[in-house]
């Protein structure tokens, strides 16, 4: 079984069932959303590699979900599935951030080929950098080491390294404890004590020399935000 999860947002139950069955037969894991409301929630919060997104459905449209993804999850791989094949819709979808646009009706063989192609391209595109600059130093994710401009260094645990990378990749947006548990560590927030996140944040701040929380800020009632705008 593949570890790749694909989100299917489609309001037609027969079409959605057919897509899910084909994807799962091909070895992918799936998440399903029957309308735009659930689709928006899963698109922004769930852990998945690729979204298959219908345009016209109850609740937020596919374009609205795509716009939200562009702001909150830049680089997220998306294929639009739509009966609307007009050129303006295709152009709008692709310029808003979609990686491909498949017009209904389509064959499942064609869909799988498009899925495979987009996954190959986006795996290359979003390959995470091994090192990143930070205010006052840099981080090497392969070695899990923080190096400061004064020559000193600090080792990171695997969890701390994963957490720092996730916060940096979030581009300054607020990340909730629940999102970290679900998307980063694959845990159910309803069955896990979120205090564990607070402890990892505290340890990470200490290693970052962030005593005043100017880098890694707590946003009360919402979560955490890494200030990516500070100069290194």
The CATH number linked to 208 is 1.10.10.10
* Domain extent at residue 66: 5-125
180: DSSP letter: I
Instruction: For CA atoms 135, 136, 138, 143, give the dihedral sign.
Output: negative
Interval 210-229: pLDDT, tens: 999 999 999 988 899 998 66
pLDDT at residue 58 tops 90: yes
Report the pLDDT value the prediction gives residue 127, as an integer from 0 to 100. 45
| 77 neighbors 122 (Cβ within 8 angstroms) | yes
Tell me: do 63 and 168 sit in the same domain: no
End position of a domain, from candidates 125, 147, 168: 125
CA distance 177 to 223: 6
From 65, 91, 125, give the residue that closes a domain. 125
Q: Report the pLDDT value the prediction gives residue 98, as an integer from 0 to 100.
A: 85
Quick one: 121 and 138 in the same domain? no
Position 151 scores a pLDDT of: 92
pLDDT: which is higher, 33 or 93? 33
Return the H-helix or E-strand segment holding 216. strand 216-219
Show Cβ contacts of residue 188 under 8 Å, excluding neighbours closer than 6 positions.
181, 182
- C-alpha dist (Å) from residue 169 to 18, 132, 158, 173, 195: 34, 10, 17, 9, 22
Residue 32 falls inside a structural domain: yes
This prediction has a pTM of 0.56
- Classify residue 100: in a domain, yes or no: yes
Query: How many structural domains are present in the chain?
Result: 2
232 belongs to a structural domain: no
Instruction: Identify whether residues 166 and 115 lie together within a single domain.
Output: no
pLDDT at 103 over 80: yes
- Residue 231 counted as domain residue: no
For the chain, the average pLDDT equals 85
End position of a domain, from candidates 107, 125, 143 = 125
């Amino acid at each position: 079984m593949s570890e790749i999860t694909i989100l299917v947002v489609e309001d037609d139950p027969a079409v959605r069932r057919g897509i899910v069955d084909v994807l799962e037969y091909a070895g992918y894991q799936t998440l399903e959303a029957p309308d735009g409301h659930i689709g928006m929630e899963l698109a922004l919060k769930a852990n998945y590699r690729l979204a298959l997104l219908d345009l016209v459905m109850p609740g937020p449209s596919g374009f609205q979900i795509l716009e939200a993804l562009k702001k909150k999850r830049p680089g997220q791989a998306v294929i639009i599935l739509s009966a609307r094949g007009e050129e303006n819709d295709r152009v709008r979808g692709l310029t808003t951030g979609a990686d491909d646009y498949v017009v209904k009706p389509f064959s499942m063989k064609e869909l799988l080929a498009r899925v495979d192609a987009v996954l190959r391209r986006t795996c290359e595109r979003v390959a995470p950098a091994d090192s990143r600059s930070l205010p006052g130093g840099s981080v090497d994710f392969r070695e899990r080491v923080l190096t400061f401009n004064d020559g000193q260094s600090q080792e990171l645990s695997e969890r701390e390294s994963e957490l720092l990378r996730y916060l940096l990749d979030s581009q300054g947006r607020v990340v909730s404890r629940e999102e970290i548990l679900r998307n980063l560590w694959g845990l159910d927030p309803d069955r896990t004590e979120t205090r564990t996140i607070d402890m990892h944040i505290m340890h990470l701040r200490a290693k970052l020399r962030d005593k005043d929380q100017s880098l890694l800020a707590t946003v009360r009632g919402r979560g955490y935000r890494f200030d990516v705008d500070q100069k290194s």
